[in-house]
Amino acid sequence: FFHYSGHGSQQPDTSGDEMTGGKDDTIVPCDYDRNGMISDDELRTMLVMPLPKGVRLTVILDCCHSGTALDLPCKAVLQADGSIVMKKKSPQQIKHTSEADVVMVSGCKDSQTSADIGAGAAGNERPAGAMTTAFKTVITKYKEGSFHRILVEMRSFLRSRHFTQVPQLSSEHYLDLTACFMPDSEPVEVEPIK
C-alpha cells in the first residue's frame, strides 16, 4: 500500500510517452528545490515495474494533476448512466507492463487540482486532503465495496461537499470492477486444525 497526500505538479515530458498534453505528472517532495520533482515515469519505474506476479499494490495519490500519475495502461471510465467500463491504452502507448496487480486511485484528473478539507469535516481532527478523507470515509463504510462502488461513493462524497475534483481509478491490468476493492477485507474460510 502506498499513499501520498501532498503537492503534485506537471513538467514537460522528456521520454515521449505522454500521448496527450505532452506533460508528465509529478509529485513534489519537500526537497524538490535541490533534487527536483518525481515524475510519473520515475514512480512507475520504482513502484510498479519491479513487482512480480502475485503481488497487489494499491496506490492512493491525493495530489494535483495525478490522474495518470503511474502511467498505468487501464483506466475506469464512469458513464453518464452510472455504469463503469475499463479502457485500455493502445499497444503503441504501452512500452512495458508489470506482471503485478497495481491499482491506483488518484485525487483528480490530470487537468485538475486536488483540494484540502478542513478540520472537523467528516470526523477529521486536522485538515487533510479532500480525496484522502473521501477514501477513508467510504472504505470505512463499505469495507467489502467493489471498485465501482468505492469510486462512485468517493466522487459523491466530494461532490456533496462542493469539491470539483474527480478521483480517477486506473490499473496495470483489466479489473473486474465488481470485485472487492480491498480483497483482504473479505472473510476467509479457514479449515479447522485437526
At 91 the three-state DSSP class reads: helix
74: left (phi over 0), alpha (psi -120 to 50) or beta: beta
Catalytic member of 63, 64, 74, 108: 64
Residue 180 annotated among the catalytic residues of the structure: no
Residue 64 annotated among the catalytic residues of the structure: yes
Contacts 24+ apart (CB under 8 A), 136-145: 139/181, 139/182, 143/182, 143/185, 144/180, 144/182, 144/185, 144/186, 145/180, 145/181
**Integer Cα distance of 161 and 15 in angstroms:** 38
Catalytic site residues? 7, 64
